[in-house]
Amino acid sequence: MEKKSASQRRLFLLLSILLLLLTPGGSAQMKPGDRRKAFGEARASVIESLLGILYPKSQLDWDSQLLRIPGENPHLFEVPVYVRGSQANGGLEGVATVEFDRKKEEFIYEAQSFQRSDNPAFPTLLVVFRADSSGHIQKYKKFMLDPKEPLTQIKNFSIRDWSQNEWPTLDIQYDTDVFSPSSFATIEWRSIFDANSGEFVSRLPLGITRKVRGGPEQQVVFGVGRSSPNTVQIGTRFGHETHPYTCTDPCVVDAHLLLSQWVH
């Protein structure tokens, strides 16, 4: 396997800085209202509308980044959202995910260091929506991304097409984390997801990062090509190792079968 790339280390540093800036108290210079302004009016209004729909009677406090839901302790919220103009209604359309309290990130950090022996589930909620020009959601659908896997993280998403069907197809780049008391592996995927059926149309691996207790972290970056109508070849970027994978076109690769071919 190849070593972790410098670009990944730079990405981790960038995300760490971003996390610091978004943490309450992380930027001493922020004034009341600055956090909401940083999202822009349309995106902020969509987030407010979405949280109000998903969690009725909740109260959102932008400055503390807390969502207060009746009967629960306040939640630190994060709502990554993709928004674009909609030709269908002249308003907005997009896709969003909601995370609370950074529990997933904390678990991943500890599991990568082999400090966790439990096996909690952290499903990833996705919501596709259409809103008016003010950002008030008029139509939405929610579903879980890859519900068979207990630990997934979205890295990037966008609408691929929303022209012919009631709901769109999405481009989603995300990670699946597979862990045990002695190893932690992350598969990075490039996928197309159909919000009409709630299923993947296509899912191909970009790479695997793996760490074994007591050993260094290793990474392999994939190149994928079709060799026959029923087979794709998944190999390292420079062709040092290649494995055939039985799959029709379009192809949805299984995480655990992929790991069984590459992790020895």
Domain boundaries, the chain: 6-262
Q: What is the pTM of this model?
A: 0.85
Residue 18 pLDDT greater than 60, yes or no = no
Instruction: pLDDT band for 34, please (50, 70, 90 cuts).
Output: very high
Distance CA 7, CA 143 (A): 32
Q: What is the pLDDT of residues 56-106, one digit of tens each?
A: 999 999 999 999 999 999 999 999 999 999 999 899 999 999 999 999 999
Provide the pLDDT for residue 28.
53
With H, G, I as helix, E, B as strand and everything else as coil, classify residue 103.
helix
Distance CA 130, CA 210 (A): 39
What tokens does 256 get?
A: 């655990």
Choice between 109 and 28, residue whose per-residue pLDDT is larger: 109
Instruction: pLDDT band for 121, please (50, 70, 90 cuts).
Output: confident
What tokens does 149 get?
A: 């896997």
* Mean pLDDT, range 244-252, rounded to an integer: 95
* Mean pLDDT, range 10-30, rounded to an integer: 47
Residue 255 pLDDT greater than 60, yes or no = yes
Residue 3 pLDDT greater than 50, yes or no = no
What tokens does 185 get?
A: 């592996």
Distance CA 141, CA 136 (A): 15
Residue 114 pLDDT greater than 70, yes or no = yes
Distance CA 210, CA 221 (A): 12
Closest-CA residue to 262 (of 188, 192, 191) = 188
Question: Which own/partner contact pairs does 237-242 have at CB distance under 8 Å and 24+ positions apart?
Answer: 237/2
* Mean pLDDT, range 16-27, rounded to an integer: 44
Radius of gyration of the chain (CA): 20
Closest-CA residue to 201 (of 179, 236, 229, 168) = 168
Instruction: pLDDT band for 238, please (50, 70, 90 cuts).
Output: confident
Least confident of 83-92, 205-214, 234-243: 234-243
| Residue found under tokens 């598969």 | 187
Provide the pLDDT for residue 20.
42
Q: What is the pLDDT of residues 133-142, one digit of tens each?
A: 999 999 999 9
Provide the pLDDT for residue 23.
47
Provide the pLDDT for residue 16.
42
Q: Whole-number mean pLDDT of the chain?
A: 89
With H, G, I as helix, E, B as strand and everything else as coil, classify residue 52.
helix
User: Is residue 190 within 8 Å of residue 206, measured between CB atoms?
Assistant: yes
